[in-house]
Amino acid sequence: MIEQETIRRVLDAADIVDVVKEFVTLRKAGVNYKGLCPFHQEKTPSFVVSPSKQLCKCFSCGKGGNVVHFLMEVEQMTYPEAIKWLGAKYGIEIREKQKTDEERKLESVREDMFSLNAWAAKYFQRILKTDVDGVTLGMGYFRSRGFRDDIIDKFALGFCPTQRTAMAQAAKAAGFSDKNLKLTGLCYETDRNELIDRFHGRVIFPVHTVSGKVVAFGGRILGTDKKLAKYVNSPESPIYTKSRELYGLFQAKSAIVRAGCAYLVEGYTDVISMHQCGVENVVASSGTSLTEGQIRLIHRFTDHITVLYDGDAAGIKASLRGIDMLLSEGLHIKVLLLPDGEDPDSFARSHTAEQFRAFIESNQKDFIRFKTELLLSSTPDNDPQSRAALVTDVVHSISVIPEEIERQIYVTECSRLLGVSESLIQREISKMRREKYQKRENEQAAVQPVAEQGGNTSTPSVDAQSAATVSASATVVTDSPISPTPLMPTPGLSGRVLIQRKNLVENAENMLMSMIVRFGELTLGNSAEATEQTALTEVAEEEEYLHATVTEFIQSDLAQDELTLRSPVSRRILEEAISHVGDPNWKALPYFTLHEDLEISKFATFVSEKESPLSTHHKEQYVEEKYRLYEVIPRLLLDYKYAILREQINDVMMQLRNPEVQKNAEQSRHFMQQYMQLMSMERQFAELLGERVVIKAKL
């Protein structure tokens, strides 16, 4: 972990104009500088750099920030990587905190393995270009695929000698140990204790991490021996977990950010051929089903993914579950079905980049529509059971989408395509989401007793009486849980209104996350003002919540009201904060802003900047929040719940305005009862917040 004093020295020395000029051509524009945005394609400069504020911003796409944010975005660095980059540029030694003996040992093993992989990658490249077999067999294969020299170098393609021990002998001669040759998977040991090259006689595809380190290899056989696997890949190791890597991401990350989307294909050659064609925002799952780790990796760079299929119906159906996982992470998915007999590799070799992109734009379909049409085409009209299974399958995909408004749009679309009423689809979605929530609750309940038996006392229990002191809404919410109300299309409702409602909850959630990132390890009563007040000190002896940390209190309060944070990254931060909050030297701010996951470090940096998530009202109210956590945290929790409640009230009002609902007396009564109940809760919230909010709704 980089010391905070070092970070301050780096930031004081860094000049944003000086740094941005290495990536963007800037021209003076008054007191500022202007250039073409590096984050998206544009012809008219809209990217402005302010030397006085040390900030940059694109007034077209909205991206920008300070010098660290710029590097994190343009080069897809983590926070520590950006600080180290700036340290190297300005000649500042990056001092890190002392590591334990165990940490140093593990780090040494990993460094040795990375060094061996780096050597092996260069060795395979050299053999490809200088060895007789490398040139005739390896280079001959790549030439047959039409790969140019620059593309071969870009992906560091190589060839492993046909002799079974040639690479192992060369590695040992270079000073690498048998142990690391086996750990990396470059070699395996026979019963006779002989080291054999895993990839002998194969062309080599190195797999890189996001930062460019060689973490593994894939090898393709060149012969026709059916007894041998066509592809052999490195086994998992201390530095390589297959489910957390995507082939081609290192080469594609900048293009993905610029394009605002990623193309997902299956194999190595699909990625390479598309790059050679000029389409660079592409990654491969390497023939395996997508995993949560890979999905999160993609999500660090874009929210939009187009999956390219080659027309194999069986293969497409087998991959649908993985796409459901993409949807559940909040990604927007489209699907492209290539012409018969084509795959991304062959199609890229016969088309230019412009032709390829034009074909994608013209033929890609929204995933839900694609899945519905695909299943309809293979389901007989006269088979009710198959039709019912089809509807259930499609509805399941819709149910995993986290955004309620987006789910409703798909409900309407699928109702039309499947000939099933919206209300029926909506009821099934609600049922599936309830079952998923209940399953998660049961799993957590099963784990809880184990944690208690293990003597884990780091998380205090905030009882109902204590919670009532700071969150009196709990009783109201428990009696009538705040759960999503199904939306129905309402004529005249603008998208701006929906966005404002969404932002209300999002901003309140960001305020909570700001408290966790900045003060997560502190207790609510851990402040000079708190301990100096006699009355509060007396209360602290009785009120357990003052001894809870900010993280523990927020988690406990949300769980008590059965609320889950909306944002996936917020949920991950809360989970990690809870797991570390008992560590004696753990500090939330450096931990999250320097996190190895770029998405977490960027989000934590954003919410940790005091002014970013605060409205003018909040700035005045919470200007001294560090010293009044016992007041501020409960208030922010109330703000969050109130925002959700207002969202629910607006949703019910939408239903009451809907002509279809107004025609149905039973539905009208149902929503009116909901409305009255929610308004009663709203009045109690207003009193808790110290405000009387008068709602004048024209129904």
What is the CATH classification number for the domain harbouring 63?
A: 3.90.580.10
Residue 374 near residue 408, CB atoms below 8 Å = no
Whether 234 and 266 map to the same domain: the answer is: no
Whether 320 and 214 map to the same domain: the answer is: no
* 571-593 per-position pLDDT tens digit: 999 999 988 887 877 888 888 88
Q: Which of 363, 392, 408 is the last residue of a domain?
A: 363
* 150-172 per-position pLDDT tens digit: 999 999 999 999 999 999 999 99
Whether 297 and 228 map to the same domain: the answer is: no
The average pLDDT across 650-669 equals 80
Q: What are the distances in angstroms from CA 423 to CA 206, 234, 389, 660, 671?
A: 51, 50, 18, 11, 14
Mind giving me the DSSP string for 570-581? HHHHHHHHHHHT
Rounded CA-CA distance 407/266 in Å is 28
What pLDDT is stored for residue 470 in this prediction? 32
Whether residue 37 has pLDDT greater than 70: yes
* 265-302 per-position pLDDT tens digit: 988 999 999 999 999 999 998 766 677 778 877 877 78
Q: Tell me whether residue 372 is in a domain.
A: no
What pLDDT is stored for residue 183 in this prediction? 94
CA 126: distance to chain centroid?
37
Q: Tell me whether residue 282 is in a domain.
A: yes
Domain total for the chain?
4
Q: Which of 37, 57, 89 is the last residue of a domain?
A: 89
Residue 203 near residue 142, CB atoms below 8 Å = yes
Residues β-bridged to residue 217: 206
The average pLDDT across 662-681 equals 80
Q: Which of 240, 267, 293 is the last residue of a domain?
A: 240
Q: What angle do CA 567, 573, 574 make, to 5 degrees?
A: 90
Tokens of 466: 């204590």
What pLDDT is stored for residue 443 in this prediction? 66
Tally of CB atoms within 10 A around 326: 21
- Is the alpha carbon torsion for 180, 181, 185, 186 positive or negative? positive
Rounded CA-CA distance 549/459 in Å is 9
Helix (H, G, I), strand (E, B) or coil at 178: helix
Q: Which residue range is the domain that position 617 belongs to?
A: 463-688
What is the CATH classification number for the domain harbouring 217?
A: 3.90.980.10
Q: Tell me whether residue 105 is in a domain.
A: no
Q: Tell me whether residue 409 is in a domain.
A: no
What is the CATH classification number for the domain harbouring 299?
A: 3.40.1360.10
Tokens of 188: 């395996």
Q: What is the DSSP letter of 237?
A: B
Whether 532 and 675 map to the same domain: the answer is: yes
Whether 504 and 651 map to the same domain: the answer is: yes
Whether residue 540 has pLDDT greater than 60: no
Which residue type is seen at 359?
F
Q: Tell me whether residue 149 is in a domain.
A: yes
Whether 227 and 330 map to the same domain: the answer is: no
Band (pLDDT 50/70/90 cuts) for residue 139 is: very high
CA 98: distance to chain centroid?
30
More confident residue, 30 or 675: 30
Q: Tell me whether residue 161 is in a domain.
A: yes
Q: Which of 695, 680, 662, 644 is nearest to 505 (CA)?
A: 644
The average pLDDT across 390-406 equals 86
Whether 188 and 298 map to the same domain: the answer is: no
Q: Tell me whether residue 643 is in a domain.
A: yes
Torsion of CA 475, 476, 481, 484, to 10 degrees: -140
Q: Tell me whether residue 418 is in a domain.
A: no
Sheet of 64-65: strands edge to edge?
27-29, 32-35, 47-50, 55-58, 64-65
Q: What is the DSSP letter of 566?
A: S
Rounded CA-CA distance 543/462 in Å is 9
Torsion of CA 450, 548, 558, 634, to 10 degrees: 170
pTM of the model: 0.60
Residue 39 near residue 258, CB atoms below 8 Å = yes
What pLDDT is stored for residue 59 in this prediction? 86
Band (pLDDT 50/70/90 cuts) for residue 369 is: confident
Whether 519 and 659 map to the same domain: the answer is: yes
Cβ neighbors of 545 (< 8 A, separation 6 or more) are 460, 462, 466, 467, 469, 470, 524, 553
More confident residue, 316 or 133: 133
What pLDDT is stored for residue 479 in this prediction? 31
Whether residue 16 has pLDDT greater than 60: yes
- Is the alpha carbon torsion for 619, 621, 625, 630 positive or negative? negative
Rounded CA-CA distance 526/504 in Å is 30
Whether 491 and 639 map to the same domain: the answer is: yes
Q: Which of 111, 116, 214 is nearest to 157 (CA)?
A: 214
Whether 490 and 344 map to the same domain: the answer is: no
Own/partner pairs, 52-61, CB within 8 angstroms, 24+ separation: 54/15, 54/16, 55/16, 56/16, 56/20, 61/37
More confident residue, 95 or 685: 95
Whether 358 and 502 map to the same domain: the answer is: no
Whether 497 and 530 map to the same domain: the answer is: yes
Whether residue 33 has pLDDT greater than 80: yes
Tally of CB atoms within 10 A around 664: 12
